[in-house]
Structure 1
């Protein structure tokens, strides 16, 4: 008879399910004990620092002025017959501009001639009388009194003749003044007096003739900038041309280069307390008359040099709590943070005055993935063609606001007058731009507007600070620093809000 046996659970052989669970548990424990795979080294582009002499330019907003502007005025009172010249035309020296009514002045000439003839006749009679009196007085036939009277009448008649000559000369001169000519060759202005108007000393201004060549180009340098230049020259950071013989280039309002260059001919030693600037004047040959008085232009000064200078791209420089810094890859291939002192802009680069040496390897792209001690994979930095094609200036002009080609859009950040601090509304705009950049928009260009009037240099410095503030805020909001470019300030087309804004242009 078959009997059943019960086996205790603890002695039962393991089932397939139990074995599977055990294997999974063991595998999981094994994974927990394994070290995570190492992160791949960060890939960065690196620029090896070079020290070289860099020619630089300084650029200023300037205004043209005629080297000789002559006010054409009537020199006699009378009726203006007609304007002879064409208003606004170029006139030659000696060319007739206005003709006044000559009839009254011709009558004065005729009267002066008649008076002179009468006095000459009286002189003849007085001379004949004197000639008869002299021998008679010598023979004592006439008294000494008779001789003295005859001599006195002669002298009076001779003086009257000289007086009449002077009066005739004056009358002829006044007659000549009725034909008004230009003393110089230049461009004429409008006629301030209409034909037929009576001209007197109160309305004697008729027009202006302005010499076109040479043309003066006036610009102002702020007291702060003048002090900075002196300080940099003293420290050896800047070398000026011998005798301050800068070459002055002129750029017209449409961006075209004026064909002639000039030289600085005058620097006002007096400080203008109203504008806070010193006046500088350059003289430029203008034989074709392309430049006209009172035009706004840009004056670009060449001839200065930064000796043994270090230049690195703008995006390599980052802003930290303690100021500007760059990432440097040391000999061990590790990243280290290096504080730097930045100078002027030079196209898309900064001059570095302190903190870097020749041979240092500075990270240009990829710095946001680094931390001190990070091992990085290095590739050489290759500048873009557009960056290398741009010239070297302290402030290379950027594309005018709103005129950049191939842009996906632009946003305006408004500042309070005289302020370079972002308010809450501006920070919201910056945050939206930063989010868009993180999500795939290519590049960002920050361009500040500078007010045209007042202290031009101070206005430009304020615009630069505003642009840097926006750039730093974009980086803080998460936008990659290597994709942000600072454009040089542009002149505001108007005053008020237009001169207090920064445009953020996002590129495609």
Structure 2
């Protein structure tokens, strides 16, 4: 029994020693881990920072526009008849006076012949009436016949003279109608669609014109402004009246459908007198030179109106992020902490935002690496020269 008791006591001592050693190892392991965590904490991220400054900026407002030639002239027949010839093709450039269509002239040539014959007959009757007047005049003077006969002869002469005048008018009318069988261009321009063919019947009362001639050495670009844009326009440009404000507007650009600018700038000339009640817009017109004929009636594009600001805050778009359709930047505080700051954006300028509220000149913002940031984080700023980024831009 004494031997068993000694064995049991020895086992208990060994168990206590094992537990003590295990506890010491566990404590040592935890201590080492905690010490390691404290010594290995990562340093603040090093990120580029720029200083916001005011810059001269030219911003642009864009409006959808439709183009029309200076005049779009409907070419219509002035006489009825069959089209004998079509001397131009669709899209051709023609000059004033050039013959475009020929209408069968034979009926009108015969009308002229008839009118000339009537004129000759009327002239003969006038000559006969003149002879009677000259014959009766001395007889009346010598009291051979009564004055009544002479007055009758003079009245017949006047009627014959009137018939001559009427016959001359008929001749002129017949000549005009004969000339109308040659349909000529009233101005230089481009020929539009020709819906008729040789042999088609042309009529003065037909609904559809023979074609449309676009006179487009200059073109008009028509565009509309909303009421809000119109108020902004009035506030932007100097002048006591709308026409004065328009006269102070700079030259405008025409951006074509392929986003390429028209090589020549234009000038806004007039505004419609009132707003359209249906859509609440007011119309403007800009005029562009088109000597090379690149622009055609029916083209579409955008009018770009510049507005120059001598001092505006600009922020690189890559330094911003969006939350619920609002634009933010990470502003840097004195303690190198970053704070998400909302901006009021008034426009874009290339890869820059034009800002009116949220930051001010001299504030520092994080330029890159913003996807790794959270509010309140501390960073190590690296200053990037603003002049290399914030240059004068155009909206």
Q: Same fold (TM over 0.5)?
A: yes
Q: Does 1:191 align with 2:229?
A: no
* Residue in structure 1 matched with residue 49 of structure 2 by the alignment: 46
**Preserved CA contact (<8 Å) 2:237 2:245:** no
- Report Cα offsets for 1:470-496 as digits up to 9, x if no partner: xxxxxxxxxxxxxxxxxxxxxxxxxxx
RMSD: 3.5
Aligned match of 2:221 in 204, 217, 221? 217
**CA-CA distance at 1:225 after TM superposition:** 2.9
* Residue in structure 1 matched with residue 380 of structure 2 by the alignment: 377
Aligned match of 1:176 in 174, 179, 189? 179
Q: Distance in 2 between matches of 1:274 and 1:292?
A: 28
| SS of equivalent residue, structure 1 residue 201 | coil
Q: Which has the larger radius of gyration?
A: 2
Q: Distance in 1 between matches of 2:253 and 2:92?
A: 27
Q: Distance in 1 between matches of 2:160 and 2:219?
A: 56
**CA-CA distance at 1:368 after TM superposition:** 4.6
1:317-466 alignment runs, 5 A limit? 317-319=320-322, 324-381=327-384, 392-393=394-395
Q: Distance in 2 between matches of 1:242 and 1:212?
A: 23
* Residue in structure 1 matched with residue 25 of structure 2 by the alignment: 24
1:220-235 alignment runs, 5 A limit? 220-230=224-234
Q: Does 1:118 align with 2:121?
A: yes
Relative distance call for 1:255 and 1:368 in structure 2 (3 A) is closer
Relative distance call for 1:233 and 1:342 in structure 2 (3 A) is farther
**CA-CA distance at 1:305 after TM superposition:** 1.4
**Preserved CA contact (<8 Å) 2:269 2:286:** yes
Q: Where in structure 2 are there 5+ consecutive unaligned residues? A: 1-5, 239-243
Query: Bigger CA drift: 28-37 or 277-286?
Result: 28-37
Relative distance call for 1:300 and 1:25 in structure 2 (3 A) is same
Q: Does 1:259 align with 2:260?
A: no
Aligned match of 2:290 in 270, 282, 286? 286
* Residue in structure 1 matched with residue 241 of structure 2 by the alignment: none
| SS of equivalent residue, structure 1 residue 145 | helix
* Residue in structure 2 matched with residue 82 of structure 1 by the alignment: 85
**CA-CA distance at 1:129 after TM superposition:** 1.4
- Report Cα offsets for 1:191-218 as digits up to 9, x if no partner: 2222222322332721111113112222
**Preserved CA contact (<8 Å) 1:42 1:366:** no
Q: Distance in 1 between matches of 2:192 and 2:325?
A: 58
* Residue in structure 2 matched with residue 273 of structure 1 by the alignment: 277
**Preserved CA contact (<8 Å) 1:42 1:370:** no
**CA-CA distance at 1:261 after TM superposition:** 2.0
* Residue in structure 1 matched with residue 38 of structure 2 by the alignment: 36
| SS of equivalent residue, structure 1 residue 310 | strand
* Residue in structure 2 matched with residue 104 of structure 1 by the alignment: 107
- Report Cα offsets for 1:146-199 as digits up to 9, x if no partner: 121111111111111111111111111111111111011111123222222232
| SS of equivalent residue, structure 2 residue 122 | helix
**CA-CA distance at 1:320 after TM superposition:** 5.2
* Residue in structure 2 matched with residue 141 of structure 1 by the alignment: 144
**Preserved CA contact (<8 Å) 2:338 2:379:** yes
Aligned match of 2:211 in 200, 207, 211? 207
Relative distance call for 1:372 and 1:297 in structure 2 (3 A) is closer
Q: Distance in 1 between matches of 2:98 and 2:331?
A: 71
| SS of equivalent residue, structure 1 residue 117 | helix
Aligned length: 381
**CA-CA distance at 1:31 after TM superposition:** 5.0
**Preserved CA contact (<8 Å) 1:312 1:349:** yes
**Preserved CA contact (<8 Å) 2:222 2:285:** yes
Q: Does 1:163 align with 2:166?
A: yes
**Preserved CA contact (<8 Å) 1:115 1:164:** yes
Relative distance call for 1:66 and 1:322 in structure 2 (3 A) is closer
1:48-63 alignment runs, 5 A limit? 48-63=51-66
1:468-487 alignment runs, 5 A limit? none
**CA-CA distance at 1:248 after TM superposition:** 2.5
Q: Does 1:129 align with 2:132?
A: yes
**CA-CA distance at 1:126 after TM superposition:** 1.3
Q: Distance in 2 between matches of 1:330 and 1:158?
A: 106
**Preserved CA contact (<8 Å) 2:93 2:191:** yes
- TM-score of the aligned structures, taking structure 1 as reference length: 0.66
- TM-score of the aligned structures, taking structure 2 as reference length: 0.83
Task: Select the structure with the greater relative contact order (CA < 8 A; seq sep ≥ 6).
Answer: 2
**Preserved CA contact (<8 Å) 2:268 2:284:** yes
| SS of equivalent residue, structure 2 residue 252 | strand
| SS of equivalent residue, structure 1 residue 259 | coil
**CA-CA distance at 1:353 after TM superposition:** 0.9
